[in-house]
Structure 1
Amino acid sequence: MNSARRPGLLWVLIALLTLEFLALAALAVTLLVEVLVAPATSVASGIALTIVAFIAAAWLGAIVVGTLRGQAWIRAAAIVWQFLQVAVGVGALQGTVAQPGWGWPLIVVAAVVFLLLFAKPVVAVTSARRDTP
């Protein structure tokens, strides 16, 4: 896809998805360092969480690349990610150790990305099915 044909809202979507990817990749690296330096009470749980974080980061990275290419599959994948992100954000707002400082930003960014995924210019760019990669 030619970058001159990309609408502004698509660039905003790409920027927000990239921000989410970078934050998740940083979290995955932090979890890896924590597992190696200061093992959790349950080492198996710490390793599993780290692996899941790396898989999620790879998935989100693929969504970013797919968005840059204007591929249709990214809308469904990004919607699933936004719902997961809202769930984590809501969880961060609850309980005795609530963290509204990062819970609310997760929810707000997810809501904005969700709305952008349904914006007409974004849908127009990501609706075309291409046979060539």
Structure 2
Amino acid sequence: MATLAVILSIEAVLVLGATALTIVQFAAHGARVEADGFAFVACLVIGFLWAGLAAVGVWLERRWARPLTVVWQLIQLVVGVGALEGLIAGPLEGVVLIALGLAGLVLVFTPPVTRALARVRG
């Protein structure tokens, strides 16, 4: 349980770092199309909030964290494959994203995590 929460926390911090780095790069060099730059940063912020909320939910063992975690890991796998293909980032980033995504997906379906996230809290 704690391993999944740690992975989600690391992912949230990485997305926050990517958001900050992207903002700095856009401020320094600008985006090809300004609206695209804002949209990309907005997507990163949404990703950070999503991963952060999933991490909080897993730390607190809340039922609603499971679907958030599954969807987040699937999105991360897709982004990782895109990075491997050179569409975004690079191969190293793609391998890291895919490894974290697969680890998160495997962990969310393990019996201890399933039991912990299935408990009804009142």
Bucket of the pairwise TM-score, normalised by the shorter protein = over 0.9
Q: Which residue of 2 aligns with 1:69?
A: 60
Out of 84, 88, 102, the position equivalent to 2:79 is: 88
Q: Which residue of 2 aligns with 1:116?
A: 107
Out of 96, 115, 121, the position equivalent to 1:105 is: 96
1:37 Cα deviation after fit: 2.3
Q: Which residue of 1 aligns with 2:3?
A: 12
Question: Tell me, what secondary structure is at the counterpart of 2:4?
Answer: helix
Q: Scaled by the length of structure 1, what TM-score is found?
A: 0.85
Q: Scaled by the length of structure 2, what TM-score is found?
A: 0.92
Q: 2:35, 2:14 → 1: CA distance?
A: 24
Contact 2:50 2:72 in 1 (8 A): no
Q: 1:98, 1:43 → 2: CA distance?
A: 20
Q: Which runs of 4+ in 1 moved over 3 A?
A: 95-98
Aligned amino acid, residue 49 of structure 1 = F
Which has the higher Rg, Structure 1 or Structure 2? Answer: 1
The count of aligned residue pairs is: 122
Aligned amino acid, residue 44 of structure 2 = A
Aligned amino acid, residue 57 of structure 2 = G
Percent of paired sites with the same residue: 30
Q: Which consecutive unaligned segments of at least 5 residues does structure 1 have? A: 1-9
Q: 2:88, 2:103 → 1: CA distance?
A: 26
Contact 1:28 1:50 in 2 (8 A): yes
Q: 2:5, 2:28 → 1: CA distance?
A: 34
TM-align CA RMSD: 1.6
